Amino acid sequence: MSAPVTGLVVTDRDGSRLLTLTLPGLVTRLCVVLPVFLALVVVDRLAPEAPWWPPLVLVVLAAAAAELPDTSVGLVTLGGLVAWWLHAVTGPSEWWALLVAGCGLAFHTALAHAAAGPPGCTPTWAVVRRLAARCTGVLLVTGALALVVEIAEEGGEPPLLVVGLALALVAALPWAVRRG
């Protein structure tokens, strides 16, 4: 065939497909599990005395989310990761938080991409490039926010304006969704 072979197909004697291992499918699964693993390594580095089993549970949840991308397992995993960070890391660590936020975004985007079609769905390079560009933009904004937070923390309490704007944002979001 002229199109490149993108996967290894395992069939039974009747020719029915049992399993298809595709390169895009493997890469997507790795992009789901690895960011969680990296984030847990960061947490372990910042809080070495923390118990060992929550990271294990989160890795298992990440692997389950990679297999079931269009379910709420991803929500549980991401929520668990954030909760574990908030519980385990107590000291000031905005720049490490930026790294973990990047991992969270990578996990979220990879999982959303995996849910767009059957497991192993082949994206065009344009799709991948566009997604990477969007994630880069979001991370740049997040980096700028981390910088603002760092500067604000040096000044003591966070400014009331920032708190007010954030709460307004939270209030406005459901309204915006309902309008849509």
Partner 1 sequence: MPEWRPTYAHLRAVVVGLATLVVGLAAGRADAVVLAAPLVLVALASARRPTSVPTATAEQRSLTVNEGEEVTWEATVTGLPPGGSATFVHPGQRLLEVEPAEGLLCDERDGSAVGQVALRPLRWGRRRLGDPTVAAYDGWYSWRHGPVPLAGLRLTVLPVTAPYNAAAPAPHPRGLVGMERAARPGEGTEFNKVRPFGPGDRLRRIHWPVSARTGRLHVTATYSDEDAHVAVLIDAVNDVGESTGIDGTRSSMDLAVRAAAVLSEHFLHRGDRVGVRVFGAWGVSLVPASSGLLQLRRILDTLCLIEPGTARGEDALAARQGLGAGTLALMLSPLIDPAATQQVAILNRAGIDVVVIDTLPPGMEDETGTTAAALAWRIRMLQRRVETTRLASLGIPVVPWSGAHSLDQVLRDLGRRRATPRLVVR
In the region spanning residues 84 to 143, those forming contacts with partner 1, defined by CB under 8 A, are 85-86, 89, 92-94, 96-98, 100-102, 104-105, 108-109, 111-113, 115-124, 126-127, 130, 134, 138-139, 141-142
Radius of gyration from C-alpha coordinates of the chain: 20
Count residues contacting partner 1 (CB under 8 A)?
79
Specify the stretch interacting with partner 1 by CB under 8 A; choose among 29-37, 54-62, 161-169. 161-169
Whole-angstrom Cα distance, residue 21 to residue 123? 15
Closest distance of CB 101 from partner 1, Å: 5
In whole angstroms, the minimum distance from the beta carbon of 52 to partner 1 comes to 22
Helix pair angle (94-115, 125-154), 10° resolution:
150
- CB-wise, 48 or 160, nearer to partner 1? 160
Q: Is residue 7 involved in binding partner 1 (CB under 8 A)?
A: yes
Nearer to partner 1 among residue 60 and residue 167 (C-beta): 167
Query: What's the full length of the chain, in residues?
Result: 180
Nearest to partner 1 of 23, 59 (CB atom): 23
Residue 105 C-alpha from the chain's centroid: 4
78 binds partner 1 (CB under 8 A): yes
Residue 130, SS3 per DSSP: helix
Question: Within 37-56, which residues bind partner 1 (CB under 8 A)?
Answer: none
Taking CA 165 as the corner, what is the angle to CA 162 and CA 170, rounded to the nearest 5 degrees?
125
Q: How far apart are the first and last CA of the chain?
A: 44
Q: Which neighbouring-strand residues pair with 11?
A: 17
